[in-house]
């Protein structure tokens, strides 16, 4: 920004100089138009007394002015007594040596010389300033004090990743031991997985456990509009790391600079990205054996990374940092409850059971929201009611206080919609839990929600996907059955997005459709799966079949739907126990 500002100031100065020069030139040449007349005509005007003044020079011409103000040029007779004749006729006579034009030329030369000199001075200094700025910008600043106080005991879950990183600690501390066995120290570790799973925390723990400097940057730090600046920053970072000796370099969101190169089809901006990536590849290849420097990178888009980054010798180890399972969630909740006044009645194991698909960051947010709620009400400790409320705040947002604008008709639509989801969940996927149903609108824009929590599973079967699609369609199906096809609402927007994504994945990615066979269409079509007409037609047909099946299922259990809705309209919320009682009691 500073460099851009200086350049803008330089441009302004040059523009001012140009304006001054042009104005000076225009001023020097802004004389009236001068007419040339014959000497005979001059004599006639002199006899008539129309001549105001005459300027005699040593040139062959003389310059004069008529009483009308018009200027003229005529031949200079250079005759004796010519001046006396003019004076006797009442004409003002002046004499010059003919240097006015020369003075004008000299003035212009001086002005232009000053302009060129000033331009040279400004350009020379701006180049020096630009070079200085580029040097400062290329000298990338790592975050913090280059030290990390985080250790592996501060990281819950991801035990397999921690075990692998603990081995890295030994590599850093005692590289000589591995050198005796001829083992090469891994140059890079790539951590990949969903956002919020603890990739940055693990990198800090690696440096903290090894007690070495920690240089943390992000991929976007190296993406610059100035040619060569990104590569210069890469070199500056690794130079600083080599000067420190043993250390951990952490590059977060490495996909920003490590995207796959596009070869000859690339434009100027991707050429700059390629130069930056090439600089990173070169620096990683230039490490000395067992130097004690490890590069740790993090991304949630490993599929976009260039293959040269992933080969052995660059990022030798690629570790998936996934969402925590129930045991890991329990450990994470315990970790984030250490310094909080948790009530003895709080069952963190139960909370861990409810928080399927929660990342470590989301679990931390859950406990933080719980603490904030307890503080808001000045309670002595954090109890289950705080955690339950925080749970739904994290998922759906805060409950809206003012609900006077919601009509009875809209509440009924919401109640049937959410009851449809809950009923289809229980009828198709009995292992799934519906922990809460609500028709209270939230600050995130939801009119209500049905909390469907699937069991912890490593894989999903085709039956699971089809059942989940039916659950997503359950809300729209209930609306159509009760209010008619022409009165369905926009409340199913998010449901249809999920259903479409699941059906397309089943057909085009997982090879679970009999008609398309065991093909992965991403390999064949790349990112254009959604625009393929065959896949669209096949997805539409399967969705229609599943929707009809969902409609029939709800119609067969319409009494259960009505009972759920009746209870929701009275209490606005319902827990799983109530839902199970209604479904089991209604024949």
What positions carry a catalytic annotation?
418
Q: Which residues contact 326 (CB under 8 A, 6 or more apart)?
A: 352, 353, 356, 456
Alpha helices in 254-376 (DSSP H): 268-285, 307-310, 326-336, 348-354, 360-376
The token pair that represents 240 in the structure block? 């600083």
Residue 471 burial (CB < 10 Å; 0-12/13-18/19+)? buried
What's the residue count for the chain? 587
**DSSP class per residue in 64-107:** EEETTS-EEEEE----TTHHHHHHHTT-EEEE--S-HHHHHHHH
The token pair that represents 295 in the structure block? 């590069």
Half-sphere CA count of 156, side-chain side, radius 13 A? 20
- DSSP letter at 272? H
The token pair that represents 465 in the structure block? 């996907």
Q: How many other β-carbons are positioned within 10 Å of the β-carbon of residue 315? A: 25
Calculate the alpha carbon distances from 277 to 414, 511, 537 in Å. 51, 35, 41
Q: How many other β-carbons are positioned within 10 Å of the β-carbon of residue 483? A: 15
Q: Phi and psi of 164, rounded to 5°?
A: -65, -40
Coil, helix or strand at residue 44: helix
**Spatial distance between the Cα atoms of 554 and 551, rounded to a whole number of angstroms:** 5
Q: Phi and psi of 438, rounded to 5°?
A: -145, 145
**Pairing outcome for strands 61-66 and 71-75:** antiparallel
Q: Phi and psi of 357, rounded to 5°?
A: 70, 10
Q: Phi and psi of 475, rounded to 5°?
A: -65, -50
Q: Which residues contact 79 (CB under 8 A, 6 or more apart)?
A: none
The token pair that represents 143 in the structure block? 């975050």
CB 230 within 8 A of CB 335: no
**Spatial distance between the Cα atoms of 418 and 399, rounded to a whole number of angstroms:** 16
């Amino acid at each position: 920004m500073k460099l851009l500002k200086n350049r803008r100031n330089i441009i302004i100065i040059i523009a001012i100089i140009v304006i001054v020069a042009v104005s000076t030139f225009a001023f020097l040449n802004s004389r009236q138009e001068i007419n040339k007349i014959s000497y005979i005509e001059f004599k006639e005007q002199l006899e008539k007394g129309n001549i105001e003044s005459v300027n005699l020079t040593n040139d062959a011409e003389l310059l004069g002015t008529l009483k009308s103000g018009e200027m003229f040029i005529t031949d200079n007779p250079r005759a004796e007594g010519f001046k006396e004749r003019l004076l006797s006729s009442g004409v003002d006579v002046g004499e010059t040596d003919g240097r006015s034009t020369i003075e004008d030329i000299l003035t212009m030369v001086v002005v232009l010389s000053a302009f060129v000199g000033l331009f040279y001075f400004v350009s020379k200094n701006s180049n020096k300033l630009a070079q200085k700025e580029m040097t400062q910008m290329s000298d990338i600043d790592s975050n913090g004090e280059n030290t990390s106080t985080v250790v592996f005991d501060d990281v819950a879950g991801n035990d397999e990743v921690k075990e692998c990183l603990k081995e890295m600690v030994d590599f850093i501390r005692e590289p000589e031991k591995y050198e005796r066995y001829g083992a090469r120290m891994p140059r890079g570790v790539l951590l990949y997985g969903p956002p919020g799973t603890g990739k940055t925390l693990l990198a800090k723990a690696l440096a903290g456990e090894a007690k070495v400097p920690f240089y943390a940057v992000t991929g976007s730090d190296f993406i610059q509009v100035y040619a060569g600046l990104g590569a210069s920053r890469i070199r500056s970072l690794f130079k600083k790391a080599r000067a420190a000796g043993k250390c951990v370099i952490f590059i977060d969101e490495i996909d920003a600079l490590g995207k796959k190169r596009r070869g000859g089809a690339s434009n100027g901006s991707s050429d700059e990205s390629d130069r930056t990536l090439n600089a990173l590849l070169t620096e990683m290849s230039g490490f000395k054996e067992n130097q004690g420097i490890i590069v740790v990178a993090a991304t949630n888009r490993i599929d976009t990374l260039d293959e040269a980054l992933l080969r052995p010798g660059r990022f030798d180890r690629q570790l998936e940092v996934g969402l925590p399972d129930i045991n890991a969630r329990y450990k994470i909740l315990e970790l984030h409850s250490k310094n909080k006044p948790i009530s003895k009645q709080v069952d963190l194991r139960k909370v861990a059971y409810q928080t399927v698909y929660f990342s470590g960051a989301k679990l931390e947010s859950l406990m933080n929201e719980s603490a904030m709620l307890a503080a808001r009400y000045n309670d002595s400790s954090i109890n289950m009611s705080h955690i339950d409320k925080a749970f739904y705040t994290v998922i759906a947002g805060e409950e809206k206080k003012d609900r006077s604008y919601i009509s009875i008709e809209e509440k009924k639509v919401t109640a049937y919609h959410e009851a449809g989801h809950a009923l289809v969940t229980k009828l198709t996927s009995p292992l799934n839990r519906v922990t809460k149903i609500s028709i209270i609108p939230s600050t995130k824009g939801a009119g209500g929600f049905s909390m469907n929590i699937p069991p912890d599973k490593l894989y999903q079967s085709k039956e699971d996907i089809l059942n989940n699609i039916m659950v997503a369609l359950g809300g729209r199906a209930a609306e159509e059955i009760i209010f008619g096809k022409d009165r369905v609402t926009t409340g199913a927007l998010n449901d249809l997005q999920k259903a479409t994504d699941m059906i397309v994945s089943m057909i085009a990615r997982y090879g679970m459709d009999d008609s398309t066979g065991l093909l992965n269409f991403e390999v064949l079509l790349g990112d254009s799966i959604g625009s393929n007409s065959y896949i669209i037609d096949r997805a539409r047909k399967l969705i229609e079949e599943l929707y009809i099946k969902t409609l029939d299922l709800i119609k067969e259990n319409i009494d259960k739907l009505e009972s759920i809705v009746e209870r929701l309209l009275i209490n606005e919320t319902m827990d799983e126990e109530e839902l199970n009682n209604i479904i089991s009691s209604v024949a």
